A and B are shown apart, each in its own frame.
Chain A
Amino acid sequence: NAGVTQTPKFQVLKTGQSMTLQCAQDMNHEYMSWYRQDPGMGLRLIHYSVGAGITDQGEVPNGYNVSRSTTEDFPLRLLSAAPSQTSVYFCASGGGETDTQYFGPGTRLTVL
């Protein structure tokens, strides 16, 4: 049971490039979400999904796309990277009856 996994761990992009951050969970959780963490600003919700085929926007969705084709995977796409998207990105899954949410190890993204 690997829990929540994320790839890559580190990434450097140039302004305007696109990329996909991968997130997978093997706990059969319906709920998955993406957060970004910036110094002094806590964890801010980007997008979330309550099940395969269902996604919705969080607090800071601009510049990011998501899709949920399977229960296990929830990739986050940066369409045209900007320096303001330099951050640490965490994926989380869980919720349901226990309410507990589990975080992945994070991806540190730098946009030059």
Chain B
Amino acid sequence: GENVEQHPSTLSVQEGDSAVIKCTYSDSASNYFPWYKQELGKRPQLIIDIRSNVGEKKDQRIAVTLNKTAKHFSLHITETQPEDSAVYFCAAKISNFGNEKLTFGTGTRLTIIP
């Protein structure tokens, strides 16, 4: 089955700097890659996702890049703010009818230092 590895497990950055979280996946058939943000005591919430037919996607201060050849994808947060402090999870799945299983990475705890 699919295996997703996520690095680093913890990350501290100064407010205003950029943060990058990286994930690798094992199954070359995976074609949907979401990122979830989980604040302390809350549920995971989708912040951005990318499909294998595009290499990059942006939404304001966050962006995701995908390298299908190397089987890795990354989350980029620019101009970080205190409210960006949370745990971030990457995930991967093969997007086709009847297969909805997401495989998650182990998470990155991001701390923004004021």
Contacts and interface: CB of A to CB of B under 8 A. Distances in A.
A101 B104 contact: no
Nearest to B105: A42
A17 B12 CA distance: 42
A101 B100 contact: yes
Interface string B83-111: 00000010001010010111111110000
A75 interface: no
Interface stretch (A18-26, A43-51, A64-72, A79-87): A43-51
Interface string B35-66: 01000001111100101000000000000000
A90 B100 contact: no
B44 A103 contact: yes
A48 B101 contact: yes
A42 B3 CA distance: 12
A106 B104 CA distance: 17
Contacts of A31: 100
Interface size class of B (residues with CB under 8 A): 20 to 34
Contacts, number: 55
Q: Find the residue from A31, A42, A58, A100 having the highest chain B CB count within 10 A.
A: A42
B46 A106 contact: no
A43 B89 contact: yes
B43 A106 contact: yes
Interface in A15-44: 31, 33, 35, 40-44
Contact of B100 (A50, A103, A104): A50
Interface of A: 31, 33, 35, 40-45, 48, 50, 58, 90, 94-96, 99-106
24 contacts: A40-B9, A41-B106, A42-B6, A42-B89, A42-B104, A42-B106, A43-B44, A43-B104, A44-B104, A48-B100, A50-B98, A50-B100, A58-B101, A90-B43, A90-B44, A96-B100, A99-B32, A99-B34, A99-B49, A100-B34, A103-B36, A103-B43, A103-B44, A105-B42
